[in-house]
Structures are given as C-alpha cells and as structure tokens.
Structure 1
Amino acid sequence: MAELQTPDETPLLQVRNLQIGAMAYPPGERPHPIEIVKGVSFTLERGKVLGLIGESGAGKSTIGLSPLAYGRGGVTITGGEVLLDGVDILKLGKSGTRALRGARVCYVSQSAAASFNPAHKLGDQVIEATVRHGLMSRGEARQRAVELFGILGLPDPESFGNRYPHQVSGGQLQRAMTAMALCSRPELIVFDEPTTALDVTTQIDVLAAIKTAIEKTGTAALYITHDLAVVAQVADDIMVLRNGETVEYGSVEKIIENPDAEYTRELVNVRAIRHEEAADQSDRFFEMTNISASYGTMPVLFDVSLHVPRGQTLAIVGESGSGKSTLARVATGLLPPTAGSVRFGGQDLPPALKNRSREELRRLQLIYQMADTAMNPRQTVGGIIGRAVTFYERLRGSARRGRVNELLEQIEMGSGYYDRYPAELSGGQKQRVAIARALAARPELIICDEPTSALDPLVADGILKLLLQLQKEEQLSYIFITHDIAIVRAIADSVAVMHQGKLVRFGPKAEALSPPFDDYTDLLLKSVPEMKIGWLEDVLASRRTVSAGN
C-alpha cells in the first residue's frame, strides 16, 4: 500500500452530501422524480480501499460511479460535492470529465466479456485509453501492460496481449480488464462487482490478483459488492448502504467483528441456516445411472451415477463447465443421454422430453437461475402461474384464480401480486413467482438450477428458507445445482461434486464435506470466502491448486 498521509494532506477523494435522483415511470401512473442516493458522505485516502456493500437498489454502483461524474441509466447527480484532490469534478464540464475518465479515474465492470471487443487483441485494448489520453507512447504503454500482466498473474506476460478475448478464460479476462484500468497509472479505480460472475475457485485468484495490484501500484479503490466476506479481504474501510443511505461506516474490523446496526449484523450472519441431513439416504426415489451425454460430437458427461431419496435434497456442486446444468438437462429430458438411464419412482423415464407424458412432466419441475429470462414480461404474475395451473390441473376462471392466489400465499407474497408484471417485482419476488409456477404442477421433485446465484445474500437466504419450508410441508425432493459451498452446507442432505463432466465425490453431506479430500474438492472447499480478516492470505498459502490457467 502507499504510504499513509500526514494530517495536513488533502484526501484523494471526498464525497460530501451526495444526492442522486432519477425519474420513475410506474405503470398506470404519471412519471415522477425519485431520490436514489440521499446525502451520502465519505473520504478515501491515497492507496486505500473502501468497500461499498449493500443489497440491489442500495445505491452502491450509483455512488461508485460518482467519481467519474457519471450517472448510469438516466440518473442525475442533484446535489453535493465529489472532490478529487480538492477539486469538485462535478463542476469540470464535459471536457474536464472526458480528461478524467480512463486517465485519473478508471472503472472495472462486473462483466469483462461485455467490455472487450472480440475483434481486437487484448493488448491493443488494454493500452487504448492510456495512449488516447497522451499519457504514454504506444511502446511505453505496451511495456506497462506487460508489467501489469505479470503483477496480475497472467500466463506468458510478454505474449498474453496477442490473444483475443475468446482465447482466454473468464478469470483471465477479468484480470486483463484490471490491467486496462491500471495501465494509465490512475489515482482511483472503481471495481464494480469484479468477481461476482466468476466461479468460486476463479474468484479467489482474481481477488488475490486485484489485491496484489492495488498494493504494488498504490492506487486507491472503491470496491462495490454485495458479498461482505469478499470485500473484507481487500478493503481498509467498509460503508454499508441501504435504500440510498449509509447504514454504517467504519474499519473492516469494526464492521465484521462489532457492527452497530441490525442490518449489518444480518449481513455478517448470513447463511445461518442449519439443515440436519437425513440419517437414512438409501431410498432411490430418483436415480440417474451411468449417464454419459454429448453436445453434438463433444462428450460432456462421463458415466455419472447418483440418486435422491424422497423428501431430501441433493446438492450438485462444481465450477462452470463441470457438467452440473447438463446433468439437469438430461434429467428433464432436454438432452437425451448417449448412455445410461433415468428412473423416477421405480420407473424408467423416456430419455427425450417430447416422449414424456403429462404426468411424468408434472412430477419433475425445473426452476431456472435467471427468473427474468424465464418469464414473459407481458404477462402478469397471475397469467404466468395460471398458465401452469391450467396445463396441469385444467382449471379455468375463478377456480384457476383461486389456485393461483393459494400458490401466492404459499410463497409468502399474497393475492395482491396477482395483477402485477415482472418489471414491478424485485429479484427475490421474481424467483418466488418461479417457485410458485413450479409448485402449480404439484411436483414430487424440483431441480433448482442456481436459483439464488443472482440474488443478494439476505434475499437468497429468504428463498432458501422458503424452499426448506415447502420441502417439509409437501415432502418435496430437490436437486440443487450450485457452486456455493455455503448453500450446500445450509440445505443439503447429500452432495455430488462434479469436475470436467465426471462425478468426483458423492455421499451424505457430512461424509462428502469431511476429509480426506480429493484435490478438486479440497480446492473447492478452501475457495469459499469466510468472514475473517486475513482469510485470503491464509487460503492462498494452504490450498492445493488443481490446475493452472484460471
């Protein structure tokens, strides 16, 4: 880290009474202004990292973009000051802010894949802003990029920039984007959820690379996230936000070890769910035996066998590309296997969805990761759930409406949501509607494909508690696909660990999550961030690396 400042030095960044607004366009009502950020203030010294944490809609990203004098999505900075080296950047004008962005203040987004042009080499894109601002010659910028590739742990730093975006992994692309931000030697970088879209194993490598780069370059940073355990590894101070206001602001130690606010305590204690695994897991209510599958000529699953007892939860865990979701596609008939069988309640299921009866479809339902993309935005909640009610129970009119309202009560939303559209719902509410649609079939097994990965921790906890409650009430069985070991510990009875299309571990939760471990399971378990200062350094020192190149 850079040297600490003396008391008479001006802090790098001072945000004073920041107010940000936007126009709201509620259905059926006249547009009206709303306040998104309500008088937030903080200070950031050179070489320090401030974590901005809170749920979706808290104002994290909106506040984080203020040092670039930028309002995304139609928002406007309506009041306050944003002082960079004592100068209010909100008064710089268009030419002043253009000179600022990409030079003195840089931004790293959540999705690196969406930020790179697939037609250009990485090296050219990393140095582009630095050269355009006239901060270095092209040769100097290329040398700077090579230096940063090395600091960030990228392979073959001298030649890495010759690759195109599609030729590197997601973790490497995120580190390349960090190199792009650091290339101009900025005073401040805004990291906007830079590891959220990554697998848990890859996340650790990227997080470590970001921390190393900040320490070696002395750049200050705002780190935006909804994961308190992650930000605790890189930040010096943390500001907890909710509904556009500061809930709590202090050192990392203060926030995670002795928080004052109830909301902060909830964030610290998230995933406090404790589900005791079933003692008897011998029942083979749902069973997949010797499953192999391919996409075209490419094999993706290799001789996978597992089972789920009635009324229990099997968690399938592994990183992207491990075969988790492909296994779900085989189970639902969306991808017929090239070998093996699927049995449900003692009977073989037809391999292809089109050959399954209405009754076979009813018994096995699927909840998708992204509720947004699984719903018709032009249908109301009542229409979305009602369609399933009509298909499986042939109910219409008042009987259909009554059944939909019953389901809305079951997911703890109520009949008041019947006529609302998806755009009027929060992320957690949309996922609850997706659960209600699955329940409309009165299923016996539900496959949950990462249903909480896009949700904030507290909202995700609410969904997990609802699923456990429904399991108890309806004797439901679940296959829960996830890469989050904390969720596995919270809800599973049994655990299957997938890696490169193969089953590397399967058994009761206590057994599967206890040593001795194979190398991959060991890596997976050690990569789950803990609410502990110094955890990142400890895990990097102790974990066994299965493969390089993330």
Structure 2
Amino acid sequence: MADTDHDRPLLSVRGLRLGVRAHASGEPLRDVEIVHGVSFDLRKGRVLGLIGESGAGKSTIGLAALAHARGAMRITGGEVLLDGENILALDNAGKRGIRGARVCYVAQSAAAAFNPAFRLGDQVIEATLRHGLATRAEARVRAVELFRMLGLPAPETFGRRFPHEVSGGQLQRAMTAMALCPRPELIVFDEPTTALDVTTQIGVLAAIKSAIARTGTAAIYISHDLAVVAQIADDIMVLRNGETVEYGPARQIVERPVAAYTRDLVRQHEIRHDEVRDQSGRFFEMTGICASYGSVPVLSDVSLHLSKGQTLAVVGESGSGKSTLARVATGLLPPRQGTVRLDGADLPPRLNGRSKAHLRRIQMIYQIPDTAMNPRQTVEEIIGRPLTFYHGLRGAQKRARVADLLDQIDLGPAFLDRYPAELSGGQKQRVAIARALAAEPDLLICDEPTSALDPLVAAGILRLFLRLQQERQLSYMFITHDLAIVQAIADSVAVMHRGRLVRFGPRSSALRPPFDAYTDTLLASVPQMRVGWLDEAIARQAAGIASPD
C-alpha cells in the first residue's frame, strides 16, 4: 500500500555519501570519503538531533540535507528526498529556489550571519521577499510575530536595531526569526547555542523549541553536547567518523544507550572531584580589586583567595568580569584599586613591572589555543621557548625536555616536529598546557580552556588537569561558565555577576542552598542529561520557583 502524504516523511536521507577531493602521495586527485552511507527520516513538526565529536560529519550531513556541500566537499552518493523529491538531482537554479524558502540554515555564529550596516528587520525579511513569498508589509508583520514568539524585547521596534545594538543571545534569536520568516518546511540548526553562556543558552533553547512546536517546522539540530540535544530532539543520531553509531528516540539514546561510544558520551557528564580539602591557605590572593576599561568600571571590590595545590573555579555569565579578573591577576590590566599577592608577597600591578620569576610562577592557558600559537612554529619550538627564556635550555637538552613534557600530557615525542595545523583541537590544547608547564609555574590561570572542545576530548583535558595537580601541587584559577566543570575539578567557587563577587567559598557550601537569586538562576540553567529537563526548567521559571537542590 502506497504511503499517504500524512505518513510520508518530509525528509528522507538514503545512503548519503560525501567526499573531498584530495591527493594521496604520488596518486592522481581522487575522492576521499568522509560520510559513509548515512540514512534517516524526519517528519513534519519533529526534530532530529545529530551528535558527535568534531570531524564526525554532523555539519556536513546537515548541509547536505539542504543539497549543499561546503568548500571542496562533494556529495558522491545517495538521495536527499524533500517531500518525495530528490533535491540532489536539481540543477543549480532549482537548488537556489528551495534554499531560503523551503529549507533554511541557522549557523553557530549569529554575528557572522548579519551585515552590520543594515537593520535587523530588513535582514530578517530579505529571503522572504527575494523568493516572492510575501509582500514587504506582510513580511514585516510576520517578523514582528516571530520576534514576539522568540521572546525578543519590544518586538514592534526590535527590527529597527542594528546587529551591534543587541546581545549575543538576542542576535541568535533574530537569526532563528530570519530562518522561520519564509515559513520553511525544514531548518538546520548548526550548534546555535555553543558560543552562549548557560543562562543565555537556556533562553535561546526554550525559544527555539517553542518556535518549532508552534510553526510545525521540521528541524535538524546539530551539537556536540548530548545534554543540549536531549532537550530539543525527538530522535537522536550519534555519529563518529562519518558513520552512524546509534540512531533512535531521544529517551532511549540518553537513558538506555546501546553503543559503547554513546555510553561514553553520557558518562562524560559524570566526572566529579569529591575530595574535600582545607582551604584556609592564601597562597594566591586578590583583595579589594576594582578595575576599568577606560572610564567603564568592570570589577568592583572583588576579594578571593586560593590554597596551594587547589582549584578555584570562577563562574558567571558572559560579561560578569571573569576574564577581566584573570587579566588583573596576570598584570595585563592594572587594577584601579586592590592588591594581588602570591605566596605572601605583593605582585606589581603591571606586567612590565613584574620580574622574570613573577612571570614564570603564573602562567595562562587560553580558550582558543590557535590564537596563542605561531602557526609557523613546530610543537618543539612552541614548547621550547619558555624552556630557553626561563631556564636557559638549548639544543639536545631542550629537545629532551620538550619530549618529556609531551609524555606528561599524553602526546609523546612523535609530535615534536608537527605544526599546529596538523593537530586536533584537543591536541593543540594539550600543547598549550605543556608550554605553560615548561615554565614550571605555581599557578595556572585557565580561561575557558575546554569550552571549544568536544565533550569526550574536554573530559580528557579535565582528567589531565587533575593528574598534573596531584603530581606537581599546581594551583588553578579556572574560569568557566560550565557548572559541570565546577563539579568536576573545583575545591572552591567564586560566582561573578556584573563585576561583583556574589558568592565565594568551598564548593560544598557555595553550591548548596539557600542561593542568592543569581546563583540559583545560574545553577538552574545547566542542562541535565535527561529528556524533559528543559520543559521543567521553563515551567519553574514561569512559576518563579527556585531550582531543586
């Protein structure tokens, strides 16, 4: 019996294969397959989550569902049936006709999706007008409806703003409005909340979920965070190396995963540092810190301390002052008031006033290692520079020490002659850690060092931090907006909000109720690894109920 229109999936992907044109040593140009025969169905009003590490093929498959292959990618096999029609067989004009009208894409970086010279409202309705789907007046009414649906402020006038006049979370919702405006049948969301802090993320997730439910649009939601995908998706496909690892209902994937890799994804949320240690020591201390950028105050009377060999987690949403605190600690931003002390001695407020010993003892590890590495230097040169600068090592002695450091971070001497471009994200971050360790520091200031990494890679980096701390008695000031990381590594916690310290103390008490309103909101915004958590969080917010213990 033939499928009725009601029974037939909106989107059917069958045996999808993608490759990239590449040379193999001495061989002619050929296709290297990176997606290997992936298949799935998606019905109207439902969401399919694509989950997996970097390089798994998530974004490549999502774009192929729009009949698009990025850069040197080529769709080499299979079918993508949109309402029964194989859109891969369309000519270029046919593909352009469906993109932005029947199928739309929401990227990770909303800032890159908008032209800063034009008002948001004009950009939101652009595709709708280009495809002749509505008059300008009708499109503007539709945009205002979407701004209201997505919880944007002053929806009647929001579209008059320019991109730089709204927050990151608001810009991400505006990009979702831009995708929904033409009333598409399918939207691909590609990591739309990855760059957002947890309190902003929950609002965007709730807005996206509500908009999908109210419009009946089908969606593919791509992420490396299984806890996030579990809140949005009806079904989940777990991908690795371009192949399907596991595919099924979201509840089954989260609660009863079959594949070992999926079980690892679930378990990575369970890393915990449960040891309780005496935190009365003041090996590192910041007292009465006030700091500004020009005439704009950023930090106000912040005081905290850290014991030797322990970890202080500094948490808060974007703009709370976390990274500014790190800049003050390292001397990159002299405070207007207050002192920074290490091992009982005051540190000069400015970087250029600190001695080589001061610089050696406090090292920094950044969120994006690419920005802190010279792409023209080998791993040996990158790690070797502090060995020469601080310890005078050269030649064979320096190379041997670099190899030893690579062993400590679980890479090994095979990486000595590689360049940053030849390393994965997790490998680059390990090299950044080795470079910091080369100075033989006492305190590592870590600014979101795992937020750009896949969950399993990030979990490995956290375990490395814990092991190195035990072996070397290192102290960490760990800046993060991820409360799961706080549970994994912190001895003490400092919660920042709008430049002020709103909570500080041992983790056991800082994360125990009763909470101040802001800390309660922060804790309640961390996605939990269970289906239905987002709906419960939204209901609690609407009712004004505090988060559960």
Q: Same fold (TM over 0.5)?
A: yes
Q: 1:263 to 1:7 in 2, by over 3 A?
A: farther
Q: CA deviation at 1:278?
A: 3.5
The percentage of counterpart residues that share the same residue type is: 71
Aligned position for 2:17: 19
In 2, the alpha carbon distance for the partners of 1:359 and 1:29 equals 53
Aligned position for 1:349: 347
| 2:177 maps to 1:158 | no
Q: CA deviation at 1:27?
A: 10
Q: CA deviation at 1:269?
A: 1.3
SS of residue matched to 2:429: helix
Provide, for residues 9-63 of structure 1, a one-character-per-residue CA deviation record: whole Å limited to 9, x for no partner: 3211110100000134689998654211011000111111100000000000000
Aligned position for 2:332: 334
Aligned position for 1:299: 297
Q: How does 1:461-500 map to 2 (within 5 A)?
A: 461-500=459-498
In 2, the alpha carbon distance for the partners of 1:411 and 1:279 equals 25
Whether the aligned pair in 1 keeps the contact of 2:367 and 2:447 (CA below 8 Å) is yes
Q: How does 1:396-435 map to 2 (within 5 A)?
A: 396-435=394-433
Provide, for residues 66-113 of structure 1, a one-character-per-residue CA deviation record: whole Å limited to 9, x for no partner: 122111132110111111111111110100000010000000000101
Aligned position for 1:100: 98
In 1, the alpha carbon distance for the partners of 2:26 and 2:146 equals 52
In 2, the alpha carbon distance for the partners of 1:279 and 1:246 equals 44
Provide, for residues 210-237 of structure 1, a one-character-per-residue CA deviation record: whole Å limited to 9, x for no partner: 0000010000000000111111111110
Q: 1:425 to 1:154 in 2, by over 3 A?
A: same
Bigger mean CA offset, 78-87 vs 30-39? 30-39
Q: 1:187 to 1:523 in 2, by over 3 A?
A: same
Aligned position for 1:288: 286
Q: How does 1:243-392 map to 2 (within 5 A)?
A: 243-392=241-390
In 2, the alpha carbon distance for the partners of 1:28 and 1:346 equals 62
The one-letter amino acid paired with 2:376 is R
The one-letter amino acid paired with 2:516 is D
Q: CA deviation at 1:155?
A: 1.2
Bigger mean CA offset, 536-545 vs 484-493? 536-545
In 1, the alpha carbon distance for the partners of 2:417 and 2:449 equals 24
Aligned position for 1:113: 111
- Given the alignment, which residue of 509, 532, 535 partners 1:534? 532
Provide, for residues 324-347 of structure 1, a one-character-per-residue CA deviation record: whole Å limited to 9, x for no partner: 000000000000100000010110
RMSD: 1.6
- Given the alignment, which residue of 112, 121, 124 partners 1:123? 121
In 1, the alpha carbon distance for the partners of 2:383 and 2:23 equals 25
Q: 1:27 to 1:459 in 2, by over 3 A?
A: farther
Whether the aligned pair in 2 keeps the contact of 1:51 and 1:238 (CA below 8 Å) is yes
Whether the aligned pair in 2 keeps the contact of 1:431 and 1:451 (CA below 8 Å) is yes
Aligned position for 2:54: 56
Provide, for residues 189-223 of structure 1, a one-character-per-residue CA deviation record: whole Å limited to 9, x for no partner: 00000111111000000000000000100000000
Whether the aligned pair in 2 keeps the contact of 1:523 and 1:545 (CA below 8 Å) is no
SS of residue matched to 1:114: helix
Q: 1:417 to 1:92 in 2, by over 3 A?
A: same
Aligned position for 1:449: 447
In 1, the alpha carbon distance for the partners of 2:543 and 2:308 equals 37
- Given the alignment, which residue of 458, 461, 482 partners 1:460? 458
Aligned position for 1:239: 237
In 1, the alpha carbon distance for the partners of 2:320 and 2:341 equals 23
In 2, the alpha carbon distance for the partners of 1:448 and 1:381 equals 20
Aligned position for 1:229: 227
Q: 1:29 to 1:199 in 2, by over 3 A?
A: farther
Bigger mean CA offset, 480-489 vs 72-81? 72-81
SS of residue matched to 2:232: coil
The one-letter amino acid paired with 1:169 is S
Q: 1:218 to 1:421 in 2, by over 3 A?
A: same
Aligned position for 2:35: 37
SS of residue matched to 1:269: helix
Unaligned runs of 5+ in 2: 545-549
| 2:205 maps to 1:195 | no
Q: How does 1:137-156 map to 2 (within 5 A)?
A: 137-156=135-154
Aligned position for 1:180: 178
Whether the aligned pair in 2 keeps the contact of 1:494 and 1:509 (CA below 8 Å) is yes
Count residues with an aligned counterpart: 542
In 1, the alpha carbon distance for the partners of 2:529 and 2:451 equals 19
Whether the aligned pair in 2 keeps the contact of 1:522 and 1:543 (CA below 8 Å) is no
In 1, the alpha carbon distance for the partners of 2:324 and 2:385 equals 27
Whether the aligned pair in 2 keeps the contact of 1:268 and 1:531 (CA below 8 Å) is yes
Whether the aligned pair in 1 keeps the contact of 2:490 and 2:507 (CA below 8 Å) is yes
Aligned position for 2:547: none
TM-score by length of structure 2 reads: 0.97
Aligned position for 1:89: 87
Q: 1:374 to 1:544 in 2, by over 3 A?
A: farther
Unaligned runs of 5+ in 1: none
The one-letter amino acid paired with 2:293 is Y
